[in-house]
Structure 1
């Protein structure tokens, strides 16, 4: 391997190795350009050239989306029309061309408007272009037939829109609006017959929503019409409905989004006989995430897709509607202090709607996953972290190290497995990558003085290529234990957090991902009675406390931890689902970076008991029930409680 500076980006034109180039930027964008977006395309296909890159933009104080639109050109920046329907927003998604980055580099006036931006997920599955978008001085009108009253908003994957659990008393669907964010199917998607890209038919999947500019939309009338068309002898052929509207993934008996929506709004039925609450009568506005989101559990597209989904839900509701939006999704890395772009955007949207919008999110499922380290470095002290990268991992691995303001004296050293002579040590403001004999990047360390990923301190990103691939020429990083050593060369103590990003496999998919994790000889993996929570006297830097869904640490959103319906034994062992963050935190004595979130706002059951994990809820077909575990089931229960509180 050869150590090299980061290259000049082919899309952005940014010389990432120039002094100060990485400061204040998204390190994932720098890495994506270094490896030619290799981690974002589908194996076995030729990469499709990127013409429009999805990003999320955060504007400076006193600047809103209208001002950004009027000061720029649609030739190189395009924003969905929905972002102008809520006056004064400082956050939006956008599609940008190469010209955007040229203007951003050369025009101080543009940089004075934009505080920071983050890369979305530029894979060929995600619709990168927008058919309609904001233009200078345009005045978009709200859509017709907006929903009034109490509304459940759902952003998820696999939403069974024809399920009888989502009908009203007259037999009409309560799904008033349904937006699927994909424009076509193909590749490794659920139900996909082969590797072809097949555009969706708007006559079947629904027209493109003009205010979003991509995807396909069905309203209540269209859903009822298709259900009626495939009704025989009073029975709806739901399989035929989904074949017709091109939702092939719903042929699976279990779908995450259907289970979640059922917990939030399904009536009693077999699971809860006699249940007839306000939530079971509420209207539903549903967003089905593009399957690119589901495939990439690291959350690479979450910022754009979730923010667009929230704007869609808000735009389909009347100005006096009360909205409870549930997003049962999440990632592990991030600042964990509410300052990520998506969290800041969600907080702003809740504020702008004056309390009419509430957003529920899961606390996370990684409590035992060894993906978090936290410690205090005294002046002159060093601490090694041991990061286990698994063999046969077909996806990239990411480790974020978060440092507070005033930590300029902390250096980072990275040593690959069994190769101490190839260790690299960097200080803030430095970056680089190791390449193979063909010049292809194998791993990179990007250590800016400040980061677009958060507003406090900075984030150093260590990223590794996959360790296995079916493509003969794909660069591979070494598997084994990577040693990352933090050394405090400053004069004051520094608290740091390290987060391994999520890399597991979502329900029903096969991406080849394998979750990496941290190792330490003091960390208790024996499964003893007291071994499922942090013990105050244990010196290990690996902490369960602080393993938290990085979408759920905002100030205005509601995070929900997971408990058990029935328990026995000591409360700290039996009350909580083992994978969930706890409330209160079992080990609160450790020093923390400012405003880091450790405990959820509230709790709801997601396991039946210590032996029977998960809870039952709605299956894909009417009348079926399935069991899923995870705090993804806790969040919609809180959404249901909030809906019922509205009356």
Structure 2
């Protein structure tokens, strides 16, 4: 059955709304709202969060001055740049939902429009994120958060060791064990963690002017007081701190024996007293614990505001550390061991562009700033593909996308056209398993959407007797009006949480892209990316990963090992699978590797971990690249790297490029402590990799460099 209706999930009612909402918002708050994660489904969501993009740079004070005066409709979290009056295009915001009818595309757009009037800001775009839980939100906070009650540690720099430059190492992750002994000074009492922000912890009552807009902040003094009060019982410590409260009905990660964040932060900044390691007191630590909801949706949707506000927070608190310790132009390293699989992969996605902007601004002020990001873990997951002009030689190309049974979450496939290739003479058809569902859309924008990115929407509906029940959405948008067009196909779960909801059949979905007579015959590849949809064990979301399928794709090599090269005849690709957050101009991208033989890793005798994502090997639109590699596995049979658990004295093992990146962040912070201003400035154009102690890799083949970069950091 071909859907010829105009069902667009209710977006037609909002075409007059000036502020832009994208295809993910249209699905999660409109047509697919019933399938969304719990934080989106309810009609009682009070505080919405978003990454706002403005046509022209805005200063934080002028941004807030432009807000409507009828009460607190919009807030900024802790942001960097107030003292220097920095103007940025991207800002994290929280908006109050004043609708009595819950959240739908029209009410969502109205809330955003009322909170941020277009004059003088102009037409803003919004990338929505998970809402802020009411128990975490300081709704009566002033437009600007208060200064924290913090003083520098007088014990820093008083030892007999070599004097090094005080710098800041920030970690953004989950389940941060901020009282862990590995983050303390040599005396075991003073912590090196100057600031810690738990973004989704329930707010502390009675704070008239809090230092953070949502969640809780702990300064070094507060952490030390908690340690002194609970020297032997960290369970009681975290309970008193409010760190172990449930958030959105999900248990706090810190209550587990080990977390991703405990391992990552230990690799980046830990100092194990059992091994006699002297803690590097010149490196002052800042940590941001992301909300539990961050792990619900492993696609890129729902993260941007929290991530950008975490970067702002680290940079803002770093300026306070600089003032307190008397350090000019303090050097900052931030480790972000997260990512997603889809997106533009050219550095111009919203979050990447926002991080590039703020890093570039700080560097322009003469303050060294580095962000370290893993390359990703999807090399073997069949989440990336391409359609070449040769594939379309007959006028159309059909490829397969497989969804799995018992999947409780939505699935997303993005199709990205190369820069300036107008899809107006292309058509798309989506055919469900068993040939019983079909939806078609001409890839032309709908002229009724007069504001925001040019876009169009089409629903995917079930056959009779359930005709009219939408189980998916096709959309087209000119992303950020940049000349790059995206098609997004969103499908409902194959097993919705509510059995009464219609399900998208599991199995092989066929996607047909057809080219008209006017379309160019020779163009760069059209890229395919499936959003990551894994079930992170602590969150038990019931997600199952969908993937691309091609009979010419080889899973196993002739020797019986996992295949690690692409097949020329297959449209499914391993190379180009890079983390969608790792293609910005200012990020240092780290792949994962393991020894080939025993202890020869330190000599550069290594191979890429089989999961470690890679850049491209062929010409075409840029998708970013890997800069260097670090150890992610102990051997081919002993996976992962050992790091700290959530309690002092405990250990855990985590596998992935997530544990390679923090080692590079650690080595970079060490370089920031010892190098001269001139050395650091000269390395800035290469995101400071030249000042990190490393070994040049012997494998300089195209595939070798795409997977491992040029250097090993140990």
2:621 equivalent to 1:621:
no
Paired residue for 1:424? 440
Residues of 2 paired with 1:414 and 1:111: CA distance? 42
Residues of 2 paired with 1:173 and 1:260: CA distance? 18
Paired residue for 1:395? 409
CA apart distance, 1:26:
1.5
Tell me, what secondary structure is at the counterpart of 2:372? strand
2:1 equivalent to 1:5:
no
CA apart distance, 1:547:
0.8
Residues of 2 paired with 1:567 and 1:88: CA distance? 52
Instruction: Check the 8 A contact 2:74/2:116 in 1, yes or no.
Output: no
C-alpha spacing 1:605/1:592, structure 2 compared with 1 (3 Å): same
Paired residue for 2:609? 577
CA apart distance, 1:488:
2.5
Paired residue for 1:464? 491
Residues of 2 paired with 1:65 and 1:275: CA distance? 43
Which has the higher mean CA deviation after the structures are superposed, 357-366 or 488-497?
488-497
Residues of 2 paired with 1:118 and 1:237: CA distance? 41
| Superimposed CA distance per residue, residues 25-61 of structure 1 (whole angstroms, 9 cap, x where no aligned partner) | 5111122232263343429x97233444321111224
| Superimposed CA distance per residue, residues 77-123 of structure 1 (whole angstroms, 9 cap, x where no aligned partner) | 43335255251122101233548637859999549634532121248
Residues of 2 paired with 1:99 and 1:314: CA distance? 30
Paired residue for 2:521? 492
Paired residue for 1:373? 385
Tell me, what secondary structure is at the counterpart of 2:479? coil
Q: Residues 247-646 of structure 1 correspond to what in structure 2 (within 5 A)?
A: 247-248=243-244, 249-269=253-273, 273-276=275-278, 278=280, 282-318=283-319, 319=322, 320-354=329-363, 355-378=367-390, 381-404=395-418, 405-408=420-423, 409-419=425-435, 422-429=438-445, 430-435=456-461, 437=466, 439-448=468-477, 450-452=478-480, 455-489=482-516, 490-494=519-523, 495-529=525-559, 532-535=563-566, 538-567=568-597, 575-582=607-614, 588-589=617-618, 591-593=619-621, 595-597=622-624, 599-646=625-672
Residues of 2 paired with 1:260 and 1:42: CA distance? 28
Tell me, what secondary structure is at the counterpart of 1:607? coil
CA apart distance, 1:469:
2.9
Tell me, what secondary structure is at the counterpart of 1:471? coil
Residues of 2 paired with 1:573 and 1:371: CA distance? 29
Unaligned runs of 5+ in 2: 98-106, 154-165, 245-252, 323-328, 446-455, 674-714
CA apart distance, 1:125:
7.8
Instruction: Check the 8 A contact 1:9/1:33 in 2, yes or no.
Output: no
CA apart distance, 1:229:
1.3
C-alpha spacing 1:259/1:410, structure 2 compared with 1 (3 Å): same
Residues of 2 paired with 1:546 and 1:290: CA distance? 30
| Superimposed CA distance per residue, residues 54-74 of structure 1 (whole angstroms, 9 cap, x where no aligned partner) | 211112245444443333325
Paired residue for 1:153? 170
Residues of 1 paired with 2:543 and 2:254: CA distance? 23
Instruction: Check the 8 A contact 1:332/1:548 in 2, yes or no.
Output: yes
CA apart distance, 1:633:
0.3
Instruction: Check the 8 A contact 1:619/1:625 in 2, yes or no.
Output: yes
Unaligned runs of 5+ in 1: 185-199
2:275 equivalent to 1:244:
no
Residues of 2 paired with 1:362 and 1:622: CA distance? 26
Instruction: Check the 8 A contact 1:331/1:502 in 2, yes or no.
Output: yes
Residues of 1 paired with 2:471 and 2:133: CA distance? 23
- Which structure 1 residue ranges, 4+ long, deviate > 6 Å from structure 2? 21-24, 105-108, 568-573
Which has the higher mean CA deviation after the structures are superposed, 521-530 or 143-152?
143-152
Instruction: Check the 8 A contact 1:147/1:283 in 2, yes or no.
Output: no
Residues of 2 paired with 1:632 and 1:371: CA distance? 19
Paired residue for 2:684? none
Residues of 2 paired with 1:126 and 1:645: CA distance? 41
Paired residue for 2:102? none
C-alpha spacing 1:462/1:122, structure 2 compared with 1 (3 Å): farther
Paired residue for 2:229? 229
Instruction: Check the 8 A contact 1:372/1:544 in 2, yes or no.
Output: yes
Q: CA RMSD in A?
A: 3.4
